[in-house]
């Protein structure tokens, strides 16, 4: 893994490392492989996802990329370009849930020399439409924040809460409702403690912000993009392919 101590001494600031949990099996997506390894618009899902972080790593806005994989994973090396393998670091310590995988990744970072006040940007491997400017916007908004924060979208739709039979129980007011996205950016020490405590207490944790909230923190909300969705179902792959193909065409036209 990278020499974090030397990098920190050189940069004279807390480090910023992307942590990408990539140990899920993707059952809801169907198919014969985990969804992060499904080809979409000519590249695998995880290739698209990491591409945004790799560009910021090359520019110096990020200081490292670590991907948490299931023990025995044999698909990751083939899913990314060979030339990335020196800078995108795999950790084969994925757990039973996403939260356990993230905690394992945080513990691996700490063992490798990352300090408690260094920043970790946790991002879902299946959010393959994330763009560098959105990640950079999160960094700019959070690097001076005492807690940290996350990309999110204000909820535009009327929200309904159902009863057990699938009928509307009530309408939920959408004022101040946000749909959480990733990356979510927090200090290594704070996030590891809050996540570890929540898991030990049996608290259901679906994202890093919920662990911070459970510990009494109020993460900052940074407006993201509706395109930064998690590919989960078959229709999501179709939508992602269409958007990524259009993005490639636009990039070619501006070159």
Whether the pLDDT of residue 28 is over 60: the answer is: no
How far lies 251's CA from each of 42, 57, 245, 246, 247, in Å?
15, 20, 10, 9, 6
- Taking the chain, what is the end-to-end CA distance rounded to the nearest angstrom? 35
**Mean of the per-residue pLDDT values of the chain:** 92
Helix (H, G, I), strand (E, B) or coil at 134: helix
- pLDDT, tens digit, for every residue of 222-238? 999 999 999 999 999 99
CB 76 within 8 A of CB 46: yes
Tell me how far apart the alpha carbons of residues 255 and 249 are, in angstroms, rounded to a whole number: 10
User: 10 Å Cβ neighbour count for 238?
Assistant: 12
- pLDDT, tens digit, for every residue of 65-101? 999 999 999 999 999 999 998 899 999 999 999 999 9
- pLDDT, tens digit, for every residue of 130-148? 999 999 999 999 999 999 9
Helix (H, G, I), strand (E, B) or coil at 236: helix
CATH number at residue 220: 3.90.550.10
- pLDDT, tens digit, for every residue of 104-116? 999 999 999 999 9
Comparing 144 with 7, which gets the higher pLDDT?
144
How far lies 205's CA from each of 102, 118, 152, 213, 229, in Å?
11, 22, 17, 10, 19
With bands split at pLDDT 50, 70 and 90, how would you rate the model's confidence at 40?
Answer: very high
Calculated CA dihedral for residues 152, 157, 158, 163, nearest 10 degrees: -70
CB 41 within 8 A of CB 83: no
Whether the pLDDT of residue 29 is over 50: the answer is: no
Number of domains in the chain: 1
Q: Which domain holds residue 200?
A: 4-254
Q: What is the pLDDT of residue 26?
A: 52
- pLDDT, tens digit, for every residue of 192-222? 999 999 999 999 999 999 999 999 999 999 9
pTM, full prediction: 0.93
């Amino acid at each position: 893994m990278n020499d974090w101590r030397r990098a920190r001494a050189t940069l004279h600031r807390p480090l910023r490392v992307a942590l990408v949990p990539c140990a899920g099996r993707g059952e809801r997506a169907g198919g014969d492989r985990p969804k992060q390894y499904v080809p979409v618009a000519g590249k695998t899902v995880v290739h698209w996802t990491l591409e945004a972080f790799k560009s910021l790593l090359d520019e110096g806005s990020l200081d490292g990329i670590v991907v948490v994989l299931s023990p025995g994973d044999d698909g990751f090396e083939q899913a990314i370009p060979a030339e990335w393998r020196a800078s995108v670091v795999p950790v084969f310590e994925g757990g039973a849930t996403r939260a356990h995988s993230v905690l394992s990744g945080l513990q691996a970072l700490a063992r490798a020399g990352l300090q408690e006040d260094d920043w970790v940007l946790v991002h879902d491997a299946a959010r393959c439409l994330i763009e560098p400017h959105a990640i950079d916007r999160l960094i700019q908004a959070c690097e001076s924040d005492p807690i940290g924060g996350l990309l999110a979208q204000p909820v535009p739709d009327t929200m309904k809460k159902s009863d057990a039979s699938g009928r509307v129980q009530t309408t939920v007011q959408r004022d101040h409702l946000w749909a959480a996205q990733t990356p979510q950016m927090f200090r290594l020490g704070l996030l590891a403690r809050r996540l570890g405590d929540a898991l030990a207490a049996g608290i259901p944790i679906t994202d890093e912000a919920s662990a911070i909230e459970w510990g009494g923190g109020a993460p900052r909300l940074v407006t993201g993009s509706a395109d930064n969705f998690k590919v989960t179902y078959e229709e999501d792959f179709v939508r992602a392919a269409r958007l990524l193909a259009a993005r490639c065409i636009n990039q070619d036209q501006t070159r």
